[in-house]
Amino acid sequence: MWGGRFAEKPAAAMQAINASIDVDQRLWREDIEGSKAHAAMLAAQGIITAEDNAAIQAGLDQIAAEIAQGTFQFSTELEDIHLNIEARLTERIGEAGKRLHTGRSRNDQVATDFKLWTMRAARDAGDWLRALQKALVKRADQHADWIMPGFTHLQTAQPITLGHHLLAYTQMFERDRVRIVGAMLEAAWECPLGAAALAGTAYPIEREATAAALGFHAPAPNSLDAVGSRDFALAALANLSICATHLSRLAEEIVLWTSPQFGFARLSDTWSTGSSIMPQKRNPDAAELIRAKAARIGGAFATLNAIVQKLPLAYAKDLQEDKALTFDAFDSFELCVVAMTGMIETLAFNREAMRAAAARGYSTATDLADWLVRELKVPFREAHEITGKIVRRAEDAGVAELAHLALADYQAVDPRITEAARALLTVEKSVESRTSYGGTAPERVREQIARWKETFE
């Protein structure tokens, strides 16, 4: 395709390092759509004839069918998907095929193809996340009032409801979804096609037409920027990476919850693996791999960012590495979301184990301090001090839950404490009392579940 200037063929290793066809053949649909839009515009502008355009359109459709059927022969010598398709087109339709590349370059071509691919992948990622959110809300609905320990520093803090915990992730994934899809809606405002190699072209092309045909809102206003920028891919990778971090935190909790030490939940057989030596094991491999893949997706962002940050404008071949990183990140991301959805749908929670853990560690101590403030008008700092002494007493007496400590022990610390106060220190009463907006009380959780269900509809 560019042999005219050279007397010798490239070295084998030159070809190997240069070729991207193994990776970028995944852009074939976008490449054909881009070429069809470009050829139609060239004909509408009188730059090629209507007959040539008709031949190009039909030829490209046939090539699309060949690729879809798996009969297309991809060639490393032809470097990338753009040259592979163009060469095949000329093979099929002759002279007209050689006119397709008028007024464009592989630089604007690849930027357009890759941007279209990334926008579609991001839209799909939004759908995968929606399915995960629906699974989370369904489980939250089933367990809106199941009690578990809430942690800070992974130390038992206050009792919470399982529904509340699951909805926390639903909320995080909503911000992720909006970021992932939103960045791509923004990317749609600038179509690179027609920027040509870097400087635009002398042909009277109509960039609005190709932009609209490909679903963009407008042509990119600066040709150097259009061919030399990959921030749409960086944004997608950064956004995937943030979401993968959230997936990884949930995965980490699944690893903890399903350990015999926590015993809060059991993974279904379909989402567990066994050990080749220890017959009793049920391992949470999928959750562990989500943690690892989150690191890999973050790595894709860091790598592409490092590639782009040292490039002078406009296009440089370094940018070719963008696709392997981005494809891999989306593939990993899809697996993570699908696996997480499957695990969430089938996790069996253990109500008794979670409740018992929630009651340990004097998790309702704050409720006693709050009672002292509310009923006796004790300043909070003083109430904290009194409650601290009672916790110490319970610990010394070997009583595991505050609700189980005798009233006499409370009154030994502060005689004003009544049976009514003591009765409030169960984990059930504790979660029921936390009715502030966004709080863990089952009634608040149920309101949020209703809101999510409306959102999904």
**Residue 425 CB coordination number (10 Å):** 24
Cβ neighbourhood burial of 127 (10 Å; 0-12, 13-18, 19+): exposed
Is-contact 304 230, C-beta < 8 A? yes
Alpha helices in 188-222 (DSSP H): 207-213
For 3-22, give one letter per residue: b (16+ CB within 10 A) or e.
eeeeeeeeeeeeeeeebbbe
Q: How far is the CB of 261 from ligand ARG (least distance, A)?
A: 50
Residue 120 C-beta: closest distance to ligand ARG, Å: 18
Rounded to a whole number of angstroms, the minimum distance from the CB of residue 227 to ligand ARG is 9
> Closer to ligand ARG at the Cβ: 320 or 430?
320
For 444, residues 6+ apart whose C-beta sits below 8 A from its C-beta are 164, 434, 435, 436, 437, 438
CB of 245 to ligand ARG, least distance (A): 29
Counting runs of H as helices and runs of E as strands, what totals does the chain give?
19, 4
Spell out the residues 6+ positions from residue 102 whose beta carbon is closer than 8 angstroms to its own.
42, 47, 48, 203
Task: Name which of 239 and 320 has its Cβ closer to ligand ARG.
Answer: 320
Catalytic entry in 75, 268, 275, 404: 275
CB nearer ligand ARG, residue 80 or residue 190: 80
Catalytic residue among 153, 165, 268, 433: 153
Q: What is the DSSP letter of 446?
A: H
C-alpha 59 chain-centroid distance: 38
181 contacts: CB under 8 Å, gap ≥ 6: 122, 123, 125, 126
Which is nearer to ligand ARG, 21 or 213 (by Cβ)?
21
In the annotation, is 404 catalytic? no
> What residue ranges bind ligand ARG (CB under 6 A)?
20, 24, 80, 106-107, 110, 315, 317, 319-320
Measured from the CB of residue 135, what is the shortest distance to ligand ARG in angstroms? 37
Nearest to 84 by CA among 102, 104, 103, 110: 110
- Between strands 155-161 and 147-152, the pairing is antiparallel
Closest to 39 measured CA to CA, from 27, 57, 26: 57
Provide the minimum distance between the beta carbon of 108 and ligand ARG in the complex, in angstroms, as a whole number.
9
153 is a catalytic site residue: yes
In whole angstroms, what is the distance from residue 215 CA to residue 211 CA? 6
Q: Would you please indicate which residues are annotated as catalytic (active-site) residues?
A: 153, 275
